[in-house]
Structure 1
Amino acid sequence: MIALHDVLSVAGDAAGLKTPVCRDGGVVLDRAAFRARVAGWIALLQTRDAQRYALCIDDPFDFACALFALFACGKEPVIPANATPGYLADLADAYDAVLTDADLPLFVASDSAEAGANAAANVNAATNANANAEATPTAYAAHPIDPQAPLTLYTSGSSGTPKPIRKTLAQFNAEVHTLERQWGALVGDATMLASVPHHHIYGLLFRVLWPLAAGRAFDRAISLEPLHLQQQIDQGGATVVVSTPAQLSRWPALPGFAALTPAPRAFFSSGGPLALDAAQEYAAAYGAAPLEIYGSTETGGIAWRRQDQTDAWQPVAGIEVRRDEDGALNVRSPHLDHRGWHRTDDQIALDADGRFRLQGRLDRVLKLDGKRVSLPELEARLARHPYVAQAALVPLEGATRERVGAVVALTEAGSEALRDEGRVALAKTLRRYLADYFDVVVLPRHWRFRATLPFDARGKLPVAALAAAFEPRSEGMEVLAEARSGDTLHYDLRVPPTLVHFAGHFPGLPILPGVVQVDWAIRLAADHVPAARAIASVDRLKFMAPVAPGAVLKLTLAHDAERRRVQFVYKLSGRECASGVIVYREPA
């Protein structure tokens, strides 16, 4: 292990320069290539006056190179959660300039001794072309970095508004050394594979900074699914997977899940709790459940668990925890910018062994018709019903009163109840169950049923994404319910009366166009089968009955992976009104 502020200062001996940094397919980019690439970024940045840079680089290797070049130049990196124009506009006061993947061209370097020279030649050429630099950068020159160099990340906060979290490189350095002490022996020389971006603290630490400081490679590609993981394993051998509960819960149902060879040494998960049944599937397939990491952008990592051993959270080495009188978790950690106690909004119960269990958020309490209700308490109770795998509640704006909406991911039994009894009956069943524990005025009045909850790339459940479940999608349809049975998906879709596609189709007798129904089927199929976006044809297309504004359609999507096709059937009031087969191309 080296200190992060010494990454550009350690001796440039031949052995050290061959230390792996990044695996790009069958190519290994070593420290020589890394330092040469950083030198090119430094030469470019030295020609610019801007001090604060929004770092919007998707390629993790170039991101790491640009990040340390900014540190070396005494400039301040700002890492937005995403690079969408609207999001960057909201943060316009936080940065002076933006760095993207387009600022320097990609380069190709072999894993031979010539890697550093090839990289240096490329970055020098890019620097001369783009920055008119007067001096050629020295690829292996030492560049001192201030250990207290600032870095700003953004989190959504409880309100959903981007919240800046200003940290120092020293805080990240403390955390990567903690990670190495805790799990370095388990990880060993494994390549870090990731399904998470590096624009948030979890991905930044586990995907980029920890391997960089420990001298192990991170993979340049995002790991999308088990078959892709196997390709990366075939190229790199020993691996560790860095992912989120949303991804890890989905993978066991995909081809190749239990056949990864050699098996990853560990699966890391963060961003929220991993469902117990998913943890058990990993334990059955690989002998151990994923290592779940609990923490926040403000605090860094706090605790960990493996659910095949316990559901309680064990503080990470060097972290102290305590419980306030109101149940709030307090943390004292070397990853903070002070030595005192940091109060969180998570409520916990401590056990005799110093471990804790989460009991919801203290900052999610509403008053409905004069009654106070804790949304986490409602969620926890709802999650105990045999029909419910996970539940999230969200306040909804109403014309006359505040409302609560429930977004529920169903168990297999819940999905069966949805198919057999219908959406309305299922919602009534869950309301009756909650009524045994809560005043009826605080119960959810609006329900959406899903195969999975709308976790983002960080494994979080954004308030905006939950609220969006109660609005029509951008394509027009309103998804009331979604359930899975094997390779088949079942939907209840409401057709909004104000749908733009009714205009002119037809005057006086509006009918939903058939092409819209096909488009909806393709889009919903692609949500769960990304390959379905590459349409080869739509076969056996039939339209048997018209669909009027306000109709509630039942849509079934049956996926045949071997034949690369998805059969869809729409029903209206129990009768088929449209059907067809979506055929998609074989991946290139």
Structure 2
Amino acid sequence: MIAPLHFYNESDSAQIFCIGAEFQNIVYAAFWQDVLEQSTAIEYLAQSTWALWEQDSYDFMVLFFAGLLANKKIILPPNRVRNLEQQLAQQDIYFLTRQQHLSESLSPKAERAVDFIVERLAKIKNDEFLNAAQISFFTSGSTGEPKQIERTLKQLLNEVRGLAASFSFAEQCLAIATVSHQHIYGLLFKLLLPLATGRSFYNPQLAFPEDVIQVQQRLLQSGYLNYVVSSPALLKRWTSELRLQHCEMVFSSGGKLDVGIRPNLNVPIIEVLGSSETGGIAHRKQDDAAWTAFENVEIQISDRQQLMVKSDHAGEQGWIMTGDAAEWMVIAQKQFSLLGRLDRIVKLEEKRLSLDAIEQTLNILDDVQQSHALVIEHQHRQILAAIVVLTPTAQQQLIQLGKAAFVKTLKQQLQFQLETLAIPRQWRFLSQIPQNAQSKRDKNYLKALFSMMLQPVMLSQWQAQDSQFFSLEFPSELACFKGHFPNQPIYPGVGQISFIQQFAKQVWADLDWCQGFEQLKFQNLIRPYTVVQLKLSRKEHKVSFEMSTDQHTLASGRLLFSVARA
């Protein structure tokens, strides 16, 4: 039986809603009063649709519910960059922010604040309101251009009901997340699931496994158990020495969890299958286990082995055709296994090839840890390409032999296992397959790696407190390496400043153009195949940066920007 949702009762006024960065408590009564004061002011705004991008989870939740209670449609965009702001502004859509100047007449008097909250929150339990409250998400764009997906608050809460029925949590189990609430996975597991079941969440988004451990230790002092909402990208960086503290389970979604990660963690990892279109579909606890559908999800498998899903929380009604091939394991228990993506069958020179099969063949080579096969346009024809993660030994061989000679050895091994047409023609060697901020592979970005490369490869991106982090790799194909210098290529400082500016402007949409520098230091050289961490922090119009490896600081300084005026 699916449990009823919990929002707020007068007896819950002192219950903890979330715990802040300084481990201060925010109670439910304070949160809902904040929501209602903001919603009363937002009702007076002329626009009926608002975009919402707020890095702080508490402020996000306040504006999310305030906007919906004010009968506004909420759009959760995939990023906040100037181009997107301009596109939305052309449609008279702007980003929702806190209304700073609230009239005293808009706020309930302190002596009747609780009554006012309970009265207004009755609206959230009304089906008419829940079905009318609209939220728009965007797909990650992993299979092409992102598209907008419409969901209602009723559908989101139906999905939360399914999650609550599928997993068992202790009453004092608090959510800790390393993923963003801007993505539907983070919104559901970090924010809405605790809210709807009377639990709490830790407000900051964490960036590193070590951060998770430290927060867990501090939370135990207040008697909290926890569950962690994470992604394959971060879990891949986990080691067995990092022991999770008082943690009931770890969730992983947004991409396939690599085989062999689970033994590094001392608690179960629950892998979640789903998409923006379908919502959550199924879950599993082992690498080779069957997927089990969520309580409120129906499953069918067509004659073509195509997985189909239907639920009360999907963006579409009726059966939704996914792009996955599947087969039944135990029909009565709604358990199935995935056979790969149907859209990964491609046609080259009138011959059908499976990109999944090509990757499997590449992955059994001794030199290869992981691979991604794709089709690209080259000189007005389609050819097969591959992005390959090598073993540490093979990486050293690549550097010693050079790319041409190393590729030749790989092709010699493949000629006995793949037909000639199925052997990749173009190669990129990286330390990991790049993923976007939602831990998914962006098809367009991966294809772009085979064009002229003007910037280092962004392997991953994450946020911690007020700083943005990027994991970057410098392949030998980068244009800045050419001629600088022929026998000992290094990445010049002017090139570093160029791409740092671009990344800063992607993060903060109001930054216009760089008009100066302060305290620039270039302390160590960047050579081909170097992997670095870039940290960006902002104070007013100044963006501080630091690039480092595990061993050295490579460069640091501040960029001074002109700021675009609204």
Q: Do they fold alike, i.e. is TM over 0.5? A: yes
Q: Which residue of 1 aligns with 2:232?
A: 245
CA distance in 2, matches of 1:479, 1:58: 21
Distance 1:358 1:494, change over 3 A: same
Q: Figure out how many residues of one structure are paired with residues of the other and give that number.
A: 494
Distance 1:221 1:441, change over 3 A: same
> Is residue 470–residue 478 contact of structure 1 (8 Å, CA) maintained in 2?
no
AA at the equivalent of 1:516: G
CA distance in 2, matches of 1:219, 1:71: 23
Q: Which residue of 2 aligns with 1:193?
A: 176
1:49 paired with 2:29, answer no
Superposition map of 1:256-275 within 5 A = 258-260=241-243, 262-275=245-258
Distance 1:380 1:271, change over 3 A: farther
Q: 2:313 aligns with which of 335, 340, 354?
A: 335
Q: 1:173 aligns with which of 157, 163, 168?
A: 157
Q: Which residue of 1 aligns with 2:510?
A: none
> Is residue 54–residue 78 contact of structure 1 (8 Å, CA) maintained in 2?
yes
Q: Which residue of 2 aligns with 1:461?
A: 441
- 452-461 or 405-414, which deviates more: 405-414
The SS at the match of 1:197 is coil
- Offset at 1:30? 1.3
> Is residue 243–residue 269 contact of structure 1 (8 Å, CA) maintained in 2?
yes
> Is residue 3–residue 164 contact of structure 2 (8 Å, CA) maintained in 1?
no
The SS at the match of 1:56 is coil
- Offset at 1:49? 1.4
1:75 paired with 2:75, answer no
Q: Which residue of 1 aligns with 2:55?
A: 58
Higher relative contact order (CA 8 A, sep 6+): 2
Q: Which residue of 2 aligns with 1:30?
A: 27
> Is residue 388–residue 429 contact of structure 2 (8 Å, CA) maintained in 1?
yes
Q: Which residue of 1 aligns with 2:352?
A: 372
CA distance in 2, matches of 1:498, 1:555: 11
CA distance in 2, matches of 1:426, 1:479: 24
CA distance in 2, matches of 1:473, 1:348: 37
Unaligned runs of 5+ in 2: 460-471, 504-517, 534-546, 558-566
> Is residue 194–residue 200 contact of structure 2 (8 Å, CA) maintained in 1?
yes
- 134-143 or 18-27, which deviates more: 134-143
- Offset at 1:169? 1.3
Q: 1:150 aligns with which of 134, 137, 145?
A: 134
- 203-212 or 324-333, which deviates more: 324-333
Identity %: 28
> Is residue 142–residue 441 contact of structure 2 (8 Å, CA) maintained in 1?
no
1:382 paired with 2:362, answer yes
Q: Which residue of 2 aligns with 1:206?
A: 189
Once the two structures are superposed, residues 342-392 of structure 1 have per-residue CA deviations (whole angstroms, 9 ceiling, x without a partner) of: 211111232246533322222233322222223333334433444333322
CA distance in 2, matches of 1:77, 1:495: 40
Once the two structures are superposed, residues 20-60 of structure 1 have per-residue CA deviations (whole angstroms, 9 ceiling, x without a partner) of: 22110311111111112102211220221111111111211
TM-score, normalisation: structure 1: 0.73
CA distance in 2, matches of 1:167, 1:82: 19
- Offset at 1:478? 7.9
- Offset at 1:337? 5.7
Distance 1:22 1:535, change over 3 A: farther
AA at the equivalent of 2:383: R
1:87 paired with 2:84, answer yes
Once the two structures are superposed, residues 178-232 of structure 1 have per-residue CA deviations (whole angstroms, 9 ceiling, x without a partner) of: 111111x235422211111111110110111111111111111111112211231
Distance 1:416 1:349, change over 3 A: farther
> Is residue 291–residue 304 contact of structure 1 (8 Å, CA) maintained in 2?
yes
CA distance in 2, matches of 1:248, 1:44: 42
> Is residue 557–residue 567 contact of structure 1 (8 Å, CA) maintained in 2?
no
- Offset at 1:401? 0.5
CA distance in 2, matches of 1:133, 1:514: 58
> Is residue 434–residue 441 contact of structure 2 (8 Å, CA) maintained in 1?
yes
Q: Which residue of 2 aligns with 1:121?
A: none
1:224 paired with 2:202, answer no
TM-score, normalisation: structure 2: 0.76
- Offset at 1:428? 3.6
Task: Report the aligned-residue RMSD.
Answer: 3.9
Unaligned runs of 5+ in 1: 105-125, 481-488, 527-533, 544-552, 569-579
Q: Which residue of 2 aligns with 1:135?
A: 106
AA at the equivalent of 1:17: S
CA distance in 2, matches of 1:340, 1:272: 25
- Offset at 1:538? 5.8
